[in-house]
Amino acid sequence: MGIPILCYHSIDVSGSLISTSPVLFASHMAYLAASHYRVVSMAEAVECCANGDPVDRRTVVLTFDDGYANNHEDALPILKRYGFRATFYIATGFVGGRASWMVRDLTTMFPGLRKGDDASELVNRCDRAQVGRRIPYLLRLHPARAASEIQALLDAAEFPMMTWAQLRDLHLAGM
């Protein structure tokens, strides 16, 4: 029997496809605690499976991909509250910066992507939550029609990544 892995990315209210709100994340952790789940690190899970050790059906692994700063700011306090450990997979080239791979991926999909004349007005109206909700819709549009709007949203979006100090905090917290 395998061990389920609950995978998270960003803990925020943007509504993007890779986000879980802090409130929903807290409810997930509360459920695991109330249901007496045993949360183990990925290393513990691998060792258990490699050794052929019996696994309680209420054992799970928590992981976070990419290294968003909100993992430290929002998820870590919740994990600590419940005494849960998690494994964080960090995009080390972006530590202390922003998740620019989203820009790269979208510009690859839309080679003509450039900031349009009306983009500054759109950027001023956008907040992070709007960016997360709008991008999936825009990706369905014809590239020529969506290019300037997508670029403006990307320019407005901030996807801050954890710093080295925040990563040290995770390590010191047993993550």
Does CATH number 3.40.50.2300 belong to domain 5-96+160-172?
Answer: no
- Spacing of C-alpha 30 from chain mean position: 19
Q: Model confidence over 56-82: pLDDT tens digits?
A: 999 999 999 989 999 999 999 999 999
What is the reported pTM? Answer: 0.70
Distances in Å between the Cα of 107 and the Cα atoms of 51, 94, 104, 117, 174 are 45, 18, 5, 18, 38
Low-confidence ranges of the chain (pLDDT < 50): 113-127
Q: Please name which of 61, 58, 71 lies closest in space to residue 22, comparing C-alpha atoms.
A: 71
pLDDT at 114: 46
- Every domain range in the chain assigned CATH 3.20.20.370: 5-96+160-172
Measured CA angle at 18 (ends 173, 167), to 5 deg: 25
pLDDT at 21: 94
Distance CA 123, CA 157 (A): 9
pLDDT at 142: 72
